[in-house]
Structure 1
Amino acid sequence: MLTILDKYILKRYLSTFTVMILMFIPIGITIDISEKVNKMIENKVPFSAIAQYYLDFTIYFANLLFPIFLFLSIIWFTSQLANKTEIIAILSSGISFTRFLRPYIIGATFVSIFALLMGFFLVPKASDGFKNFRYMYLIGNGQNEMRDNSDVYRQINKDEYIYVSNYNSASKMGFNFSMEKFENDKLKYKVTANSIKWNPKDSSYTLNNYTKRKVGPLGDIIETSQKKDTVFKFDLEDLTPVVYIAETLPYNKLLRFIEKERQRGSTNINVYLVVLYKKYSIPISAFILTIIAVAVSSMKRRGGMGINLAIGILLAFAYVFLDKVFGVLAEKSTYPPIIAVWFPNIVFGILAIFLLRNAKR
């Protein structure tokens, strides 16, 4: 059951965090508009698209900067409590520092659950709208930049492999297509074509300059055709997924997408895994950053709130720096994504334990 003290601190925790977000998001929107307004006017972007973009922008960046907002808001109102000697009065009444932390942990639980649900359902949709707008209106015509569309070689199941040298998303057409079928590690047949085009009406493919070579024990059988319509068990567009596709998928679809890409031997699998693991690491960071913020700001300092805020800003940006560096390291190297994503939480978790022990003293 919550006491008056719990309700008082919990109210300050949640309200300060909310106000911090509401203060900084308009600033971010203003800066973004000032940078992109000329491009929007030049491309004659509809007002409805701009309004939707900034709604997605708000959700996307609130999630992205969530650790900084949370950390600074806790340091802000806890420093106020310390400067007014309210914390000294609370601890002098016989309440332990651990008990004093309880409303903070309850607040962190609310925030982490909200962040988890946002990461699973709301943020993917906002990311999709935000990134699509940027590529459609702000980065040239951008469609090709959204894709890994050159020299795509994929394993589509246990025994079949497919290749296209280039893929055009607008025409749904791939070039220099080949498909190889193996049986007991031996080539059974190979299909090649100058181009392959997806026909959405009947879910078939049209192959131009089609050749199929069946490998036999007594000789190969070659079948050729200038044009051939056929059906395959794959979606050509899946061969060249949007580079940021993982960020735009709800949790269940993301799991299925990662499994499919793993089976196909995708070179971007670490990028997708980083997105998946961050859905869990960001909510957990709420507890770690809450403990650090309370430990840093609960002591009344001679320099007042300025010292606490300076320490808080330094630690918050150190956390974001580690998060970005190890995220890129996992995406661009063979470094295990799960370790890279969780490394900032591990480091700051150890720091939280150390600071908490000193604060108790």
Structure 2
Amino acid sequence: MFSILDRYILRKYLGTFILLLLLFIPIGITINLAEKIDKILANEVPFIQVAIYYLDFTVYFANLLFPLFLFLSIIWFTSKLANNTEVIAFLSSGVSYYRFLRPYIIGATIVCIGAFFLGNYLAPTASKGFNEFSYRYLNKSRGKDREQANVYRQINENEYIYVSYFNVKEKSGNDFSLEHFDGNKMKYKLAANRIVYNEEDSTYTLFNYSKRFIGEREDSIVSAPKKDTIFPFEIEDLTPVAYIAETLNFTELNSFIAREKAKGSSYINRYEVVRYKRWSLPVSAYILTIIAVAVSSVKRRGGMGINLAIGIGIGMIFVFFDKIFGTIAEQSTFSPFLATWFPNFVFGILAIYLLRNAKR
């Protein structure tokens, strides 16, 4: 059962966090709109598309920056409590420091649960919409590089696919080929100028289709202007590597990674980083909460400004650690699990140290 102290701190914890989000998100939208308005007008983007884009923008960046917002909001209101000597009053009434910390942990639990569902179910959809709008209307040259990036994948032990261009929205690609090997020897190669995925029956339509069988002495070729067929791979196998993982929800991402592992994909680390971050970031709510309370519950001579300066510094270091180790894991053989959880481990030790000193 919650006491008056619990309700008071919990209300400030959640209220300040939500207020900070509501204050910064419009600022972010305004800055982004000021930067992109000329391209939006030049491309005559419908208003409803722009509205959906900024809804996705809000979810995307709230998920990306929520640890920093949470950290700053706790420092802000706890510093006010300390400056008003409310923290001293709580502790002088016989409340232990750990008891004083309890409503913060309850608040962190609520935020952790919310962040988990945001990161695993809402943010993937928002990420897909945000990126699609950006590539279609705002960064056409970048979108061209992304969609025309040469996608070469091993789909099973014996077969490889290639496509020079893939359009995510239209589910079509150009210069498609499938090579089938028996050991080190190619048995046949299938090629088409264009491939289109048909969602209604999960088939593929090939245009200017040809299939070359490699013989011992001579080859044979079968061709057709159009052919409907099925393939032993998913449409996601034709999607550019850097794009797909962040657009899949919890169950879809787990299934996708399992398939990629079975195929021996060389991009597993990238997908694993995305998956582990969806677990590590919600847990960081607890660690950042403890650090923020320990830093800001002490009344300092410089007032709230000193606490905020310390908080911003720690928060930026946490974000830096999170980004740099994630990038290292994506670009090397470094363990994705260690890369995504290392910031939590380091800052967890810092949280224990600061908590013990603040308790005194």
TM-score (norm 2): 0.91
> Is the CA contact 1:148–1:241 (under 8 Å) kept in the aligned structure 2?
no
| Match of residue 219 from structure 2 | 222
| Match of residue 7 from structure 2 | 7
CA deviation map 1:244-283 (0-9, x unaligned): 2211111111111222233334333222211111111111
| Match of residue 357 from structure 1 | 356
**Counterparts in 2 of 1:77 and 1:121: CA distance versus 1, 3 Å:** same
Q: Which runs of 5+ in 1 are unaligned?
A: none
Q: CA deviation at 1:208?
A: 4.2
One-letter amino acid of the counterpart of residue 291, structure 1: I
1:190 corresponds, among 188, 191, 211, to 188
Q: CA deviation at 1:316?
A: 0.5
Matches of 2:309 and 2:222 in 1, distance apart? 72
| Match of residue 97 from structure 2 | 97
- Cα RMSD of the aligned pairs, angstroms, is 2.3
Q: CA deviation at 1:142?
A: 5.2
| Match of residue 156 from structure 2 | 157
One-letter amino acid of the counterpart of residue 223, structure 2: Q
CA deviation map 1:46-88 (0-9, x unaligned): 1101111111111111111101110011011111111111111
Q: CA deviation at 1:171?
A: 8.2
**Counterparts in 2 of 1:23 and 1:187: CA distance versus 1, 3 Å:** same
| Match of residue 240 from structure 1 | 238
One-letter amino acid of the counterpart of residue 95, structure 1: V
Q: CA deviation at 1:207?
A: 6.5
**Counterparts in 2 of 1:261 and 1:143: CA distance versus 1, 3 Å:** farther
Matches of 1:284 and 1:89 in 2, distance apart? 30
Secondary structure of 1:244 counterpart: helix
One-letter amino acid of the counterpart of residue 91, structure 1: L
| Match of residue 342 from structure 2 | 343
Matches of 2:68 and 2:128 in 1, distance apart? 23
Secondary structure of 1:299 counterpart: coil
> Is the CA contact 1:147–1:240 (under 8 Å) kept in the aligned structure 2?
no
TM-score (norm 1): 0.90
One-letter amino acid of the counterpart of residue 248, structure 1: T
| Match of residue 321 from structure 1 | 320
Matches of 1:176 and 1:5 in 2, distance apart? 65
| Match of residue 305 from structure 1 | 304
> Is the CA contact 1:204–1:231 (under 8 Å) kept in the aligned structure 2?
yes
**Counterparts in 2 of 1:147 and 1:237: CA distance versus 1, 3 Å:** farther
Matches of 2:186 and 2:9 in 1, distance apart? 70
Secondary structure of 1:226 counterpart: strand
CA deviation map 1:191-214 (0-9, x unaligned): 243645336387244364734336
Matches of 1:262 and 1:149 in 2, distance apart? 22
CA deviation map 1:285-305 (0-9, x unaligned): 000000000000011100011
**Counterparts in 2 of 1:248 and 1:47: CA distance versus 1, 3 Å:** same
Matches of 1:222 and 1:311 in 2, distance apart? 72
> Is the CA contact 1:172–1:237 (under 8 Å) kept in the aligned structure 2?
no
| Percent of residue pairs identical | 50
Q: CA deviation at 1:232?
A: 3.8
Q: Which runs of 5+ in 2 are unaligned?
A: none
> Is the CA contact 2:197–2:235 (under 8 Å) kept in the aligned structure 1?
no
Secondary structure of 1:335 counterpart: coil
Matches of 2:142 and 2:9 in 1, distance apart? 48
**Counterparts in 2 of 1:239 and 1:195: CA distance versus 1, 3 Å:** farther
> Is the CA contact 2:163–2:175 (under 8 Å) kept in the aligned structure 1?
yes
Matches of 1:186 and 1:129 in 2, distance apart? 42
| Match of residue 270 from structure 2 | 271
**Counterparts in 2 of 1:295 and 1:168: CA distance versus 1, 3 Å:** closer
**Counterparts in 2 of 1:21 and 1:231: CA distance versus 1, 3 Å:** same
Secondary structure of 2:295 counterpart: helix
